[in-house]
Amino acid sequence: MSEYKVVNPANGETVKEYPTATDDQIKDALERSHKEYASWKTTPVEERVEILRKVAAIYRKRSEELAKIIQTEMGKVIPAGQGEVEISARIYEYYADNAKAFIEEEKLRGANDGDAYLLRKPTGSILGIMPWNFPYYQVARFAAPNLALGNTILLKHAPQCPSSAEVMEQIFQEAGLPADAYINIYATNEQVADVILPDPRNQGVSLTGSERAGKAVAAEAGKNLKKVVLELGGSDPYVVLDSPDVAKTADLLFNTRMGNMGQACNSPKRMIVMEDIYDDFVSSITQAAKDIAVENPWEDPGTLAPLSSTGAKERFTEQVKATVAEGATLLAGGEDYDGPGAWVRPVVLTDVKKGSRGYYEELFGPAFMVFKVSSEEEAIELANDTPFGLGSAIFSSDSSRAEKVGAQIDSGMVYINTPEETREYLPFGGVKRSGIGRELGPLAMDEFANKQLFFKKNA
């Protein structure tokens, strides 16, 4: 039985199965990708990026179709799916507009006896291992900068996203990309470890996924001396220092957390609120969680969507139950949704105990954990008391106060008076167990580049 299959999370029904690749097919893909690299790297950057521009246009033209594919694969409502298609298109356009400038010769300071400069050049065939939560966006932020740079790509998508994986490869070819510059492979984890990473034709791997998956891939990559980029999730703190309208702030954070049903790496998983506004904040969040419509889930974008799979539902509910058993107070949610599929109700937790499951683990679902603090120092200490360090957001009517607190947060990203947002020009990545490297913005062009030094000494 293939591990690549579309299972509708709304009802648990298997829609379609795809055959897993054989070892010989994986080796053939490696050879084709390696051979194409020799040609693709010499293709003028102007021609490479025009293909990315065409990809963006096709995404927009086929927006509803693409959204429906991932709704069936992982449960995203159509408006959210179309939003994901749009940000993906903007990413391809961003690198079409800026890649040439990003790889221009960079003169180095300090040389006084000659000229020193860097050239950013491609390195070869790169493997991408992508997750299910944003099937198009995650691929775009890996593929766009690397194709613009001149690398070629093997793409292993999540086993539950084979249809979106297939259609993305087709779109690249429709846009004019050489067939072997981007190859979709239905590979197993064992084939990644035993066939791809040991092969000298592979020059690196980028993974977005769980901490467990990151450790496994990093170990194999290290064993084979391959460069890695890892984005491994987070438990992002949103610190509310003060607010002129507590209910409005609570509503903003509620809607942010409910995005993609809480299945986002940079979702506000820990809400840290000053004690003078804590009760009002908790009351607003709890009421919002109880009020969310469940009568016609998924049919109305203002109501619920399922989690990505029944497995995801089981993991999420088990984490919530364990956190409550370890002393947390459950104010909303926690009960099973009636009927088949991967449905859950929003959960509100307070009094989450240090050392409990919820305190240190990433809850990948619509769980609102709210913590009370009495000072900025306590807020900073709590925000940093996590093995993760992806993003964060600080809210205050005094932006300088928010910036001062934000500067003391151990995270790769800090947002002031706004939820964390995905924008194509903002580098994305974290520290600690949230991963290694950066995607998006200019920094993404550096991750799998040969930053080649040239030094010409004065005569």
Active site residues: 231, 265
Tokens 């293709």 sit at which residue?
43
CA–CA dist 136, 290 (Å, integer): 32
User: Which of 135, 172, 138, 183 is closest to 52 using CA atoms?
Assistant: 172
Between vectors from CA 317 to CA 345 and to CA 340, what angle results, nearest 5°? 65
Q: Which token pair is 290?
A: 């109880």
418 burial type by CB count under 10 A (0-12 exposed, 13-18 middle, 19+ buried):
exposed
CA–CA dist 139, 387 (Å, integer): 26
Type and span of the H or E element at 212: helix 211-223
The 10 Å Cβ neighbour count of residue 425 is 12
- Phi and psi torsions of 401, nearest 5°: -65, -45
Beta bridge partners of 131: none
- Phi and psi torsions of 197, nearest 5°: -65, -35
- Residue 125, phi-psi category: left (phi > 0), alpha (psi -120 to 50), beta (remainder): beta
Those residues whose C-beta lies under 8 Å from the C-beta of residue 381, and which sit 6 or more positions away, are: none
Q: Which contacts of 209-217 are long-range, i.e. CB under 8 A and separated by 24 or more positions? A: 209/129, 209/131, 209/233, 211/362, 211/433, 213/129, 214/435, 216/189, 217/129, 217/192
Q: Which token pair is 83?
A: 């939003």
Those residues whose C-beta lies under 8 Å from the C-beta of residue 317, and which sit 6 or more positions away, are: 334, 336, 344
Residue 101 in 3-state DSSP?
helix
User: Which of 346, 366, 352, 241 is closest to 291 using CA atoms?
Assistant: 346
Type and span of the H or E element at 416: strand 415-416
